[in-house]
Amino acid sequence: MAYIKYKELTQYFNFYKELDINNLPDYVNEYIDTNEKVLIGYGTMRDKFILTDRKIILFDVRGISGKHKRIHFFPITSISSCALDFKIKEIGLLLSLDSGYQLRLNFTNMNPTDKVKIRTFFTEIVNKKCLKI
Digit-by-digit pLDDT tens for the chain (133 residues) are: 444 455 555 456 788 999 999 999 888 999 999 899 998 999 988 889 999 988 999 998 877 776 788 888 988 888 888 888 999 999 988 888 888 788 888 999 999 998 898 888 888 777 776 555 4
Report the alpha-carbon distance of residue 122 to residue 126 in Å, rounded: 6
Report the alpha-carbon distance of residue 20 to residue 112 in Å, rounded: 19
The answer to whether the predicted template modeling score (pTM) of the entire model surpasses 0.85 is no
Helix ranges (H only) for the chain are 2-6, 26-29, 112-132
Dihedral of the alpha carbons of 68, 42, 27, 35, in degrees to the nearest 10: 130
